[in-house]
Amino acid sequence: MESYAYSINYDIGKNIRRIREERGLTQKELAEKMNLRQATLSSWEIGRTEPSSSHINQLCKILGCKHDDIFGFLVIDIEDSKDIDSMKDRLYHIYKYDEEFRRFLSNSRWAEPLGLIEKGDKT
C-alpha cells in the first residue's frame, strides 16, 4: 500500500482553531480541559507561538483528531484503482469547498491529472 500526504494548510494555529470550533468548544473550554491558560491557546491559534509535541498529543486526544489534522496534512492510502477514485472524490470535495486548497491545488502538478481543472484553467 502506498500513502500520499499532501500539505493543505500548514498553519497549525488555524488548524487548531478550526478543529476546536468543529467540536463546538470555546477557547476557554479547551484550555480548561488541557489545564492551560486561555491566553496560551489563543497565542497558538493566532500563530504567535506553537504548541509543544506533548501539547499536540493532548490536543489530538481531547479533540479526537489525528496529528495530520493539526499539521494540515491530507493522507491518502492507495491500494488499488478503487482507492484512487475515492481519493479523487475526497480531493474534489475539499477543492469545491475550500478556497485556500483550491488555490494551492490549482497551482500544483496534481490539478490536471486529477481532473479537477481543465488544462490551463487557473483560479
Q: What integer pLDDT is reported at residue 117 of this predicted model?
A: 46
Looking at the domain 7-71, which fold is it?
Answer: 434 Repressor (Amino-terminal Domain) (1.10.260)
Q: What integer pLDDT is reported at residue 123 of this predicted model?
A: 43
More confidently predicted of 95 and 30 = 30
Q: What integer pLDDT is reported at residue 34 of this predicted model?
A: 97
Model confidence at 32: pLDDT above 50: yes
Model confidence at 12: pLDDT above 80: yes
Model confidence at 84: pLDDT above 60: yes
CB 11, CB 72: distance < 8 Å: yes
CB 74, CB 6: distance < 8 Å: yes
Average pLDDT over the chain, rounded to an integer: 75
Beta-bridge mates of residue 2: 78
Q: What is the residue extent of each domain of the chain?
A: 7-71, 79-123
Alpha helices, DSSP H, located in the chain:
12-22, 27-33, 38-45, 53-63, 67-71, 81-97, 99-106
